[in-house]
Structure 1
Amino acid sequence: MELGKLALEAALKAISYTQLDVRKTYKLQRKLDRVGQLSLTRLHCRAVDMEIKREDHAIPVRLFFPGGETAPEEAILFFHGGGWVTGDVDTYNRVCAVTARCTGRLVASVDYRLAPEHKFPEGLMDCYEAARYLFWNAPDVLGMGPEQISLMGDSAGGNLAAAVSLMARDRGEFSPRQQILLYPAAYNDHTEQSPYPSVRENGTDYVLTSARIREFMELYQRTPKDLQSPYFAPLLAKDFSRQPRTLVVTAQFDPLRDEGEDYGRKLREAGNEVSIYRMNGALHGFFSLPAGTSLVKKSFVILNAFLRGEAQISGEEEEHEVKEEHTLETAR
């Protein structure tokens, strides 16, 4: 067992140290991300594509239905990860289909435009416009009220979900009731000077490196001034009040761990209902692992408990146990 652990650690270090500069290879990375994706047919999930008009272009949105004879009564508006540079609705087919089936909710996945072709805030504004349209037209488009829609995103998508919630409050155009932020990017400094220890503790040996995060942010930003925007780095917000009921899930061996947890604490201190859960033994991106993986199963225990409205999932981030009475709603 110890030899296996050492071999895994050595492999992770090798992958981390041999990464190519994403600023030069992002187009190749996009192609590689699409390799090996399971088809929707094999996933037994019905999907419907739609478009939302924004100015001079359309925003593709894919709706994933959980199955069963009755229409879903609630929805998740999902923003995918990929450092604002890679990923799309196709590469997240499996993640969104599994999420629909394991939560029993309709999942609407937004295919926002990517950097560096479309720099900040273009991708964010695609997410915001898609959210505004669906919240305003929920009865006609989704067959439910806007209060039945939850925001959700992983990594850069968690950043986008948090930014959409802040912008919705600031503009007063709609009000998400709850949001799920999976290992979100929330701050603007991932150098050795970062105030968050996880950047230094986990920034070199666990696949997602601090250098890779900086490369992504360099591709995402239009100018250095963008780094100071709370819509770019939500932890820079001056006001954390009037935000949705929030679940933050972080990974133990993730450079983004501490900033995600700190964002949850800032929301809680401002009077919002917040649950923070740190997934022990996990790397960044664990939610994209196969559905039968123990970490993914545990994730859906946590997500479903939150979506059912339970007041606390695990209390403070230092408490890393899932309550035994939470049952996993597995895909049929």
Structure 2
Amino acid sequence: MRASETWQPDVRAVMDASPFLGRAAVDMTDPEFIAAARARGPLPESVEGVEITETTLPGEDGHAVPVRVYRPTTPAPGRPAYVLFHGGGWSFGSLDTEHPRCVELTRRCGAVGVSVDFRMAPDVPAETMLADCWAAVRWTAERDDVDAARVVVTGSSAGGALALSMAQIARDRGAVPPALQLAFYPNTDDRVHPSRLSPAFPVIDGQQVAQVVANVRQGRADTPAYVFPNRTTDLSGLAPAFLLVAGNDPLRDEALAYARRLVAADVPVELHLLPGIPHAFDGIAPESQSTRTAYDLMCAAFDRAVRPR
């Protein structure tokens, strides 16, 4: 598929007006770029219906993991919840990266949200990053205002990969499984899939995907367990999945491959391929119809997954 032939007009108009998307691709292994791309602003003000605070939770090695908590302003016990892992190639991004999506989930779904500032590659091994994320899942499930059986793991891009990884870890550790693993345009693999080879896909390209994979692998000969979800051999018994894939995205084919493997493993899967949109489209064009469609699908799937049985 040629990306240039299948664009959603409102998304394309935003991209054409951007002074950044047409510039030369950055090196995602460059320490200066990584540092700049991790920067974040002050705590956002609470918005109507959503209280926003920040705190830390205890990590598995004693590290205090920073988190941003989103709570409905109307108190209620046993709410559904989500644990969100931000995108950024496992190497950058911050609590600001997915802020609009957190507000959307909390306001529309009445859910307590925990957005996680996990330690990232290449500063730490993949196992440390996964441990921070798993500590956040456990901490969220143990909250007094949360129903542990109605916790969703979610994220986009590499954060979507981490959500898929958490579902695998929950299964293998015998923990309460997430009610749903909900991923937007996720990384799933360190191997090259056909869509990574398209030169027409904007925002990120296949070379940059390889760079962030290199940040995670850090020259290791082995493949770290869980961090690339499509490397896990057995996908049976995982929590239900919702995958939203962007049509004009180098990660498209690996996400579709993972969805097919979930189906083959008898895991309930809801898959949406939105044509004519690039990687990270909701951040690029938050007011577009494509973003509204994606958020409507997300919230509907969330509500179905956490509905009391």
Q: Name which of structure 1's ranges 229-238 and 264-273 shifts more when overlaid on structure 2.
A: 229-238
Between the aligned partners of 2:93 and 2:236, the Cα distance in structure 1 is 31
Structure 1 portions without partners, runs of 5+: 311-332
- Say which SS state the counterpart of residue 306 (structure 1) adopts: helix
1:50 paired residue among 18, 33, 55: 55
Task: Give aligned-pair identity as a percent.
Answer: 27
SS of equivalent residue, structure 1 residue 148? strand
Could you say if the C-alpha distance between residues 289 and 73 of structure 1 is closer, same or farther in structure 2, counting changes exceeding 3 Å? Answer: farther
SS of the residue corresponding to residue 146 of structure 1 reads strand
Give the stretch that moved more between structures: 276-285 or 168-177.
Answer: 168-177
Question: Normalising by the residue count of structure 2, what TM-score does the alignment of the two structures yield?
Answer: 0.84
Q: Which has the higher contact order (CA 8 A, sep 6+)?
A: 2
Which one of the candidate residues 124, 127, 130 is aligned to 1:118? 124
Which residue of 2 is the match for residue 234 of structure 1? 229
The answer on 1:287 being equivalent to 2:282 is: yes
1:19 aligns with 2:25: yes
Q: Which moved more, 1:259-268 or 1:67-76?
A: 67-76
Would you say 1:266 and 2:261 are equivalent positions?
A: yes
Mean CA deviation greater in 70-79 or 53-62: 70-79
1-structure distance, mates of 2:167, 2:184: 15
Alignment-mate amino acid for residue 236 of structure 1: R
Amino acid at match of 2:219: T
Range that drifts further, 39-48 or 5-14: 5-14
Matched, 1:304 2:299: yes
CA distance in 1, matches of 2:76, 2:138: 26
For residues 97 and 149 of structure 2, what CA distance do their matches in structure 1 show?
28
Let me know the Cα RMSD of the aligned residues.
Answer: 2.9
Can you list the C-alpha shifts for 1:115-150, whole angstroms capped at 9, x where unaligned? 222231211110012112322x14x2xx13211111
Residue 275 of structure 1 corresponds to: 270
1:183 to 185, 193, 212: 185
Q: Distance in 2 between matches of 1:22 and 1:278?
A: 26
8 Å Cα contact 1:115-1:220 kept in structure 2:
yes
Report the secondary structure of 1:107's partner residue.
strand
- Which stretch of the first structure deviates more once superposed, 267-276 or 279-288? 279-288
* Other-structure match for 1:244: 239
Partner deviation per Cα, 1:128-178 (whole Å, 9 max, x = no partner): 12112322x14x2xx132111111110001111111111121122332121
Partner of 1:108: 114
Are 1:207 and 2:203 matched, yes or no?
yes
After TM superposition, the score normalised by the length of structure 1 is 0.79
CA displacement, residues 269-306 of structure 1 (integer Å, 9 cap, x when unaligned) = 11111011011121111232465321221012211221
Between the aligned partners of 1:275 and 1:20, the Cα distance in structure 2 is 34
1:15–1:289 Cα change, 3 Å: closer
- Distance change in 2, residues 1:66/1:281 (3 Å): farther
Structure 2 residues without counterparts, runs of 5 or longer: none
CA distance in 1 between counterparts of 2:16 and 2:292 reads: 26
Partner secondary structure for residue 238 of structure 2? coil
The aligned amino acid for 1:150 is V
8 Å contact from structure 2 (residues 28, 34) kept in 1: yes
> Could you tell me how far apart the structure 1 residues matched to 2:209 and 2:188 are?
11
Q: After alignment, is 233-242 or 72-81 more displaced?
A: 72-81
Aligned length: 294
1:28 to 22, 36, 59: 36
Q: Secondary structure at the match of 2:155?
A: strand
**Contact conserved, 1:78 with 1:108, CA < 8 A, in 2?**
yes
Residue identity matched to 1:121: E
Name which of structure 1's ranges 268-277 and 58-67 shifts more when overlaid on structure 2.
58-67
User: Partner residue of 2:169?
Assistant: 167
Question: How big is each residue's C-alpha offset from its partner over 1:205-243, in whole Å with a ceiling of 9 and x where there is no partner?
Answer: 4111111111111112233334x3441211111100010
Where does 1:36-115 land on structure 2 (aligned, <5 Å)?
Answer: 39-41=44-46, 45-54=50-59, 55-68=61-74, 73-115=79-121
Deviation of residue 266 (structure 1)?
Answer: 0.8
- After superposition, the Cα gap between the structure-2 partners of 1:125 and 1:49, relative to the gap in structure 1 and judged at 3 Å, is same
Letter in 1 for 2:186: P
Which letter does structure 2 place at the counterpart of 1:294?
A: Q
- Deviation for aligned residue 1:64: 0.8
Most deviating of 214-223 and 161-170: 214-223
2:70 and 2:15 map into 1 onto residues whose CA distance is: 36
Measured in 1, the distance between the counterparts of 2:16 and 2:152 equals 39
